[in-house]
Structures are given as structure tokens and as C-alpha cells.
Amino acid sequence: MSYQVTIGIEIHCELKTKTKMFSAAPTSFGALANTKTSVIDLAHPGVLPCVNKEAVRLAIKACGGLHCTIDPLVKFDRKNYYYSDLPKGFQITQQFHPIGRDGYVVIKTDEGEKQVRIERIHMEEDTAKQFHKDTGTYIDFNRAGTPLIEIVSRPDMHSAQEAAAYVEALRRTLFYLNVSDVKMEEGSMRCDVNISLSDDPNKLGTKVEIKNLNSIANVQKAVQAEIERQSALLDAHEPIIQSTRRFDEPSKTTVLMRKKEGNVDYKYFPEPNIFPIQLDEQWIESILNHLEELPEQRLERFMTTFGLNEYDASVMVNDRDMADFFEEVMKDTKEAKKAANWVIGDLSAWLNKNNKTFATNPCKATDIARLVNLIEEGTISGKQAKEVFEEVMTGKKPDDVIQEKGMQQVSDDSTLIAMINEVLDANPQSIEDYKNGKNRAVGFLMGQLMKASKGQANPKKANGLLVEELKKR
């Protein structure tokens, strides 16, 4: 039996600040445990929080990029609960006055574009991090107090594919805005998915939460696994238990963490140590007026300005560093399609093979542009260019490699005709085959010509001259 699937997603995203949300302690991933903390993060008696202005600015940018209405009155609240990774015994958050409301993200589905609504965006502080080992549970307080925004969607998604597309669209937008580095593998973007199944399209089923998904691929796999699990239970007329689960990668199933018997009462109340802050409207306006170009805007520009097809433009826009590199290449060439092919194809393959990214790319954009221009000018062939490219990736200049290897392509008519006639004189049978309508003879003769010229004959020009000379025989 088929069921109505309803999905909502909550995303916690660490903001790209140098210091924490309410203290001057530095934010740092991978630092020695418990070395990036302060008395404020550790909740020593008598300490007071101070709001990080940069965190507020980045939250406003996120709201702007995700089309939210921004509340200029910033208020914080206490979320009270006791857990070993929460040193204060409460978390400072924005329960009643989120900084952003009623936004949306556009995703692409098999049925076309779809708008997924965002209910709210609120600021809060991160918790510490726990490590469970055989010898016990260890806590690193370095992460405690790191600035976060939580982005809560409406339950507008209805498949694993839509859930993954939403998280990817959100990740890409936040990265383009420089709000966060959105490295899910490092925990700077964490995803909780709520799923319910129902046999009544007008009624929601029992909600099950999957916690802390750490990659786009795992979002899709976990949601699909949970849909299949709940479907099997409903088919067997067994109840769905409200619970929190996690995704187990080896078994590709969701695993029970804890059951929920109702909503937890966090006893929210206004944070008494942070007075409400009225943001200057002109400051907000200035931030929104200087937002970076969004992915969908760049996609459209790549297609209209450079004439790229949607696939090539999408591949590059999905990797901002790749798109930035391509734009640098285009400053020195007019051959957009050929440049895109080199960036998406050979260069990307080389970087993957050598465990590098476009952020750590050793190649200069001017060298790729020069390579594209040399092919277009007929100085070298496409095959020769691949050989030159390998040398370029070691730090050499394209022109120097061509000079060293004697690769200059022969495009002079008289020189080519002389070589063609030598090849024809040595292959009389191929001339007869051509006269008898066997066009494959041209391919054979071109092969002999390229061999005789050591690959330096301009293929396009040589092919035309070869046919002309054949007709004279």
C-alpha cells in the first residue's frame, strides 16, 4: 500500500565567526580538546554573556538569502534541560522571537521546481561534544558556545529525493553567502529529519525523528530507509512509535535511540542577562544590499553571459570554488564551452586523482585559458593539449612545454600538401579504395599522415587538403 509521506527538516548551522556567540573564546575545529573555552562557556558563577555582533550580521545574511522576514528586535530565551554536553544546564536560544520567519528554498524535482517553505531561523549557542569510548564518555567543551542558526522547514517534502535536494540547496546558499563553511563531515552543518507516514492524505501520521545526519547522501538514504520501515509496519497493521532514531550506515537502516512519550517541557523563559536589542534598520538594509551573488543567480548568468548549457553551468555552480576558477579562466579566453570542458573534465579529474580540490588547486587559470586558446588557434591538437596539461600541472607554462617538446602544430598549406602527397604516393591502394567509394580510406590516410607528421599536422586543415589531393589523383 502507498502512504502519504510528510517530511520536515531542522538544520543546525555553525556561523563563520572568529569568536563564540556570547564570549570572546575562539571558534576552532580540530583544536586540542578543552583549549578553546572561557569561563562564560563553562558557566562559572557570576559571568555574563555578551552578544556577538558578527553572528547577528551573518544570521541576517542567511535570512536575506533564504527570503525570510527579519525581526529587527533581537531577543533571547533560555531553554532549560540537563545533559552532560550542556555546561550551563540551559541553552541560550530564540524560542519566542526568531530573527527570521516565513522564508523559502527552491528545489528541483522530477516534476519541476518546487518551493519548500522555511518556518523560522533562530540564533543560539552550540553544545559541547561527547565522545563515547570503551573507557567511558569524554566531553570536549571547545564547541560549547559556538554561534549557530537553526533553520526549521515547513513539512513540505514528500520523498527522500526532495529531502536531499532541500538540504543541498540550503547548504549551497549558505556557502555562497559566506555564512558558514557548511562542512557536514566536521559537524558545522547538522541535519535532523522528521518523517511521518499516513494512509489519509489529509492527516499526518506519527512523527519519527532521525538525528544528526552528516552528509547529503545519508539524508537521502536515511529518509528512504525510514519510509520503508514505517511502510512495512503500517502494512502489518502495527503502530508507529514516536521516537528518535539514528542512521546506521553499515546496515543502511535507522536504529532506535529513545522513545518519546510527548513533547519535552523545556520551561522556556526570556534570558534575563541579555536585554532586548533593537537593530538599526539602516544596518540591516546595508547587509541585505551587499549580499553575495546567490547560486541561482550565478547559474542564470553563466547560461546567459557565457552561453553554457544548464548541465555544465549547474556542475560548476554547485562547487563555488570551481565556478570562481572558471570565471578567472574566462578573463583570458572567449571559448566558454571549451574552457568549461577542461575545468569540469580534465582539471577536475586531476584534482580528484591527487586528493585536491579547487580550493587547493595548484593550476593557474591563465594557463588553462592559454591551453584553450592554443587549441583554438591550431597551434596544438586536442590530443597534444592533454600531454601539455600534465606538464602544466607540475608548474610549467603551456608555451614552454610546447617549445620543449617541439609540438607546434603544422598548419601551413604547402607543408601539409607536401606531406599528404608523400603519404598518397606510399599508399596507392588507398587511393583506389577512395575512388571506389570506400570513404574509410580517408581515415586510414589521415592516420598515416598524423604518424608521418608525429602528430603535428593540423587535423582539421589536413583532412580538407587530403580530400582535395585525393580528388586530383
Helix 398-405 to helix 365-377 angle (10° resolution) is 50
Tell me the pLDDT tens digit for each residue of 76-109. Answer: 999 999 888 898 999 999 999 999 999 999 998 8
Q: Which pLDDT band, with edges at 50, 70 and 90, does 261 fall under?
A: low
pLDDT at 62: 97
Q: Which pLDDT band, with edges at 50, 70 and 90, does 273 fall under?
A: very high
pLDDT at 367: 96
Q: Cell numbers of 336, please?
A: 566558454
For residue 193, pLDDT beyond 80: yes
Q: Between 1 and 311, name the one with better pLDDT.
A: 311
Alpha-helix residue ranges (DSSP H) falling in 362-436: 365-377, 382-392, 398-405, 413-426, 428-435
Q: Cβ neighbours of residue 33 under 8 Å, at least 6 residues apart?
A: 138, 140, 142
Q: Which has the closest alpha carbon to 299: 451, 108, 158, 472? A: 108
Per-domain residue ranges of the chain: 4-282, 293-405, 413-472
Average pLDDT on 307-336 reads 95
For residue 39, pLDDT beyond 80: yes
Of 44-48, 236-240, 411-415, least confident by mean pLDDT is 411-415
Average pLDDT on 455-461 reads 77
Phi, psi (degrees; rounded to nearest 5) at 345: -90, -90
For residue 121, pLDDT beyond 90: yes
457, 449 contact by CB (below 8 A): yes
229, 250 contact by CB (below 8 A): no
For residue 347, pLDDT beyond 90: yes
Say how many C-beta atoms besides its own lie within 10 A of residue 384's C-beta: 20
Average pLDDT on 308-313 reads 95
Classify the phi-psi angles of 178: left when phi > 0, otherwise alpha if psi is within -120 to 50, otherwise beta: left
Q: Cβ neighbours of residue 396 under 8 Å, at least 6 residues apart?
A: none
Q: What is the overall mean pLDDT for the chain? A: 91
316, 322 contact by CB (below 8 A): yes
Average pLDDT on 268-273 reads 95
103, 68 contact by CB (below 8 A): yes
Which helix (DSSP H) or strand (DSSP E) does residue 115 occupy? strand 112-125
pLDDT at 451: 85
Most confident residue range from 72-76, 420-424, 429-433: 72-76
Q: Which pLDDT band, with edges at 50, 70 and 90, does 203 fall under?
A: confident
Residue-by-residue DSSP string for 366-384: HHHHHHHHHHHHTSS-HHH
pLDDT at 178: 94
pLDDT at 24: 95
Cα separation, 462 vs 379, in Å, equals 13
Q: Out of 1.10.3710.10, 3.30.200.20, 3.40.50.150, 1.10.10.410, which CATH number does the structure's domain 413-472 have?
A: 1.10.10.410
